[in-house]
A and B are shown apart, each in its own frame.
Chain A
Amino acid sequence: DAKTTQPPSMDCAEGRAANLPCNHSTISGNEYVYWYRQIHSQGPQYIIHGLKNNETNEMASLIITEDRKSSTLILPHATLRDTAVYYCIVRIPWVDGGADGLTFGKGTHLIIQP
């Protein structure tokens, strides 16, 4: 799996959009970008994933650059409950014949300020 680089921490004001960057310059053509988050003392929670098109769901939007070497997770209207560690993970999803786990780095600690 390709390695990712994320800032260790970020602040964002409540109600504003939180934009979390991730660099994955060695990503290969069949690797997807996944985002998970971990609220303090809880298990990680899936947020969103994508291959090359921008994606949006009820939690967030994922913007992937055209060369796929970086991406941005956008939380459109951050609340205090969005304070968490956010992990950007690049991997080839399971297709056939086996599975491997997720490779978690240290992530970005996003702090939402009231």
Chain B
Amino acid sequence: NAGVTQTPKFRILKIGQSMTLQCTQDMNHNYMYWYRQDPGMGLKLIYYSVGAGITDKGEVPNGYNVSRSTTEDFPLRLELAAPSQTSVYFCASQWPSGSGDTQYFGPGTRLTVL
């Protein structure tokens, strides 16, 4: 299994541009998550999904959109990039199984907005 893969690894955007961060998992996990991590800080939840067609907001959803048309893919959309969205973005997936619901993370996308 490749696990959780993310593309691109790095991206520089100009203010006002838009882009989609891709996330794919091959573990058939129902739950998927998007986090952002600012320098020196812990991760903050942006959006999550409990299955295809179902998404919900996390702690910091403003400025982002998501969709979940398949179990495998969970893209994150930035419509009007702002410097405050400069961060490292991590996607994660999880198979809900009670106490053992551990999350598996991708390698991250480093985004800079200038």
Binding site for B on A (CB under 8 A): 32, 34, 41-46, 49, 51, 87, 93-95, 98-107
In whole angstroms, what is the CA distance A102 to B76 when docked?
Answer: 18
Q: Determine the interface band of chain B, counting residues with CB < 8 A from chain A.
A: 20 to 34
Given A94-B101, A99-B48, A101-B48, does the pair A43, B42 have CB atoms closer than 8 Å? no
Identify A100's interface contact among B40, B43, B45, CB under 8 A: B45
Chain A binding surface, main DSSP class: loop
B7 to chain A, nearest CB (A): 14
Q: Indicate if the CB atoms of B105 and A44 lie closer than 8 Å.
A: yes
Q: Indicate if the CB atoms of B108 and A46 lie closer than 8 Å.
A: no
In whole angstroms, what is the CA distance A51 to B4 when docked?
Answer: 27
Q: Indicate if the CB atoms of B108 and A93 lie closer than 8 Å.
A: no
Q: Indicate if the CB atoms of B45 and A43 lie closer than 8 Å.
A: no
